[in-house]
Amino acid sequence: MQTLKTGILKALRTVYDPDLKKDLVSLGMIDDLLITNATISFTIILTTPACPLQEFMKQACIQAIRKEIKKELEIIITTIAKVTSSRPPAAILPEVKNIIAIASGKGGVGKSTVATYVALSLANHGARVGLLDADIFGPSIPTIWNCEREKPAVFKQNGKNFIIPLERHNVKLLSIGFVANSQEAIVWRGPMASAALKQLIQDAYWGVLDYLLIDLPPGTSDIHLTLVQTVTVTGAVVVTTPQKIALIDAIKAIAMFKKEQIQVPILGLVENMSYYFSNKEKIGTPHYIFGKEGGKKLAEQQTIPFLGQIPLLPIICEQGDVGISSNKTIAPFDTIAQILAQQIAVRNAIYQPTEIVKKSY
Amino acid sequence: MQTLKTGILKALRTVYDPDLKKDLVSLGMIDDLLITNATISFTIILTTPACPLQEFMKQACIQAIRKEIKKELEIIITTIAKVTSSRPPAAILPEVKNIIAIASGKGGVGKSTVATYVALSLANHGARVGLLDADIFGPSIPTIWNCEREKPAVFKQNGKNFIIPLERHNVKLLSIGFVANSQEAIVWRGPMASAALKQLIQDAYWGVLDYLLIDLPPGTSDIHLTLVQTVTVTGAVVVTTPQKIALIDAIKAIAMFKKEQIQVPILGLVENMSYYFSNKEKIGTPHYIFGKEGGKKLAEQQTIPFLGQIPLLPIICEQGDVGISSNKTIAPFDTIAQILAQQIAVRNAIYQPTEIVKKSY
Ligand SMILES: Nc1ncnc2c1ncn2[C@@H]1O[C@H](COP(=O)(O)OP(=O)(O)O)[C@@H](O)[C@H]1O
Ligand SMILES: Nc1ncnc2c1ncn2[C@@H]1O[C@H](COP(=O)(O)OP(=O)(O)O)[C@@H](O)[C@H]1O
Ligand SMILES: [Mg+2]
Ligand SMILES: [Mg+2]
Ligand 2 pocket test, pick from A104, A111, A240, A243 with the greatest ligand atom count within 8 Å of Cβ, gives A243
Residue B171, pLDDT score: 98
Fold of A99-350: Rossmann fold (3.40.50)
Q: What is the pLDDT of residues A83-135, one digit of tens each?
A: 999 999 888 999 999 999 999 999 999 999 999 999 999 999 999 999 999 99
Q: What are phi and psi of B268, to 5 degrees?
A: 165, 170
Nearest to A221 among B137, B182, B184 (CB): B137
Average pLDDT per block of 10 residues along chain B, 361 residues long:
88 95 95 95 96 95 94 94 94 96 97 98 98 97 95 92 97 95 90 95 96 97 96 98 97 97 97 92 86 98 98 96 95 96 96 90 68
Q: Provide residues with CB under 6 Å of ligand 2.
A: A 107, 243, 245-246; B 104, 107-113, 140, 272-273, 310, 312-313, 316-317, 320
Please report, as a single letter, which amino acid is at residue B212. Answer: L
Q: How far is B101 from chain A (nearest CA, A)?
A: 16
Helix axes B244-258, B294-301, angle to 10 degrees: 30
Chain B: residue whose CA lies nearest to A294: B321
Domain boundaries, given as residue ranges, for chain A: 2-81, 99-350
Beta bridge partners of A74: A39
What number is the ipTM of this complex? 0.93
| E strand segments, B29-157 | 30-35, 39-46, 74-81, 96-103, 129-133, 154-157
What pLDDT, on a 0 to 100 scale, did the predictor assign at position B64? 96
- B221 to chain A nearest CA, in Å? 5
**Is the distance from CB of A250 to CB of A262 less than 8 angstroms?**
no
User: Which own/partner pairs from A63-69 qualify as long-range (CB within 8 Å, at least 24 positions apart)?
Assistant: A64/A11, A64/A12, A64/A14, A64/A15, A65/A8, A65/A11, A65/A12, A65/A40, A67/A11, A68/A7, A68/A8, A68/A10, A68/A11, A69/A4, A69/A7, A69/A8, A69/A11, A69/A40
- Are A335 and A309 in contact by the 8 Å Cβ rule? The answer is no
Q: Please state which CATH class domain B2-81 belongs to.
A: alpha beta
Which residues on chain A are in Cβ contact (under 8 Å) with B259?
A: 185, 187
Residues of A in contact with B184 (CB under 8 A): 252, 255
Average pLDDT, integer, range A145-172? 94
* Closest among B150, B154, B152 to B165, alpha carbons compared: B152
Element (DSSP H or E) covering residue A31? strand A30-35
Find the CB nearest A256 among B185, B217, B243. Answer: B185
Give Cα A225 to chain centroid, integer Å: 20
Side chain identity, residue A254:
I
CA of A43 to the centre of ligand 1 (A): 40
Nearest to B107 among A106, A221, A252 (CB): A106
Distant-in-sequence, close-in-space partners of A322: CB < 8 Å, separation ≥ 6: A146, B244
What pLDDT is recorded for position A182? Answer: 83
Q: Is A110 annotated as a binding residue?
A: yes
Determine, for residues A252 and B184 on separate chains, whether the beta-carbon distance falls below 8 Å: yes
Quote the CA–CA distance of B237 and B242 in Å, as a whole number.
16
Across the interface, whether the CB atoms of B185 and A244 are under 8 A apart is answered no
On chain A, the residues whose CB falls within 8 A of the CB of B220 are: 137, 185-188
Kindly list the residues from chain A whose CB atom is less than 8 angstroms away from the CB atom of residue B225: 187, 189
**Verdict on whether the full-model pTM lies above 0.90:** yes
